Amino acid sequence: MSGTTRTPEYFAYNSKALIQSYSGVPFVKLQATFESVIDSGVYSHRFVGKSKDGKLSEFARYHFDYDAHRAIIEKGRRDTIIEQRDTLPIETLYNDGLSLFFYARHQLMSGKKMNIPTLVKEEKVNTYIDFRKKRDAVEIDAVDYPIDVLEFEGTAEFVGIFGLTGDFEGWFSNDEARVPILAKMKVIIGSITIELMEWKRAGWTPPRGG
């Protein structure tokens, strides 16, 4: 993750995630949309995060200008009202909160321990992940057999959406697709478990574990 920040021409991949609070949870009504432009090395070039909490609608946009060693940040309300502009110096390649997910999939089988520079909530932070290639078999409600997975663990030095922070564990499918199967994460008030409920990847089924 260190070295030059200058990136050559690259293939751009557009990713989008919709996150919303579960209808059965009282007193919480949050919707968020993350969009990221990721290069072929799985680093972020642009990011837009939009959130709606009740009637309050906010957004943040990041543009990573690696040639100029800077990240340009815009924050505001209702998509178009820019209330704040900032420029952060950056010394290396960065991930945002969404591209970090794809970076983890990309590095799953690397066996490396990594410190991943991350820009979250307009702050430069660190995400530590140990891709230790520990093979396991896990069970989830959506599949009626144990799934062959690779486990990793890490620490997020930031507070993300829904208060996600601190230590986490993840299990991705042990195949070329590397689909997220299960995750355990800490939040400010406790911990949560996340598991795969359904998928639309054509021709894919979770690999059977031992």
pLDDT in tens, 13-53: 999 998 876 665 544 567 889 999 999 899 999 999 998 87
Ordered strands of the 13-20 beta sheet: 13-20, 30-38, 44-53, 56-65, 70-77, 81-89
Predicted confidence at residue 11, as pLDDT, reads 83
- Name the pLDDT band for 4 (thresholds 50, 70, 90): very low
Each domain of the chain, given as residue ranges in start order, spans 10-93, 108-210
**Token pair 């990721």 is at which residue?**
38
Helix (H), strand (E) at residue 106:
helix 99-107
pLDDT in tens, 41-96: 999 999 999 988 777 889 999 999 999 999 999 999 887 789 999 999 999 999 99
Does residue 190 carry a pLDDT above 80?
Answer: no
> What is the overall mean pLDDT for the chain?
88
Query: Smallest Cα–Cα separation from 38: which of 28, 48, 30?
Result: 48
Percent of residues in the chain assigned helix, strand, coil, to nearest 5: 5, 55, 40
CA–CA gap between residue 119 and residue 72 (Å, rounded) = 11
Tell me, yes or no, if the pTM score tops 0.75.
yes
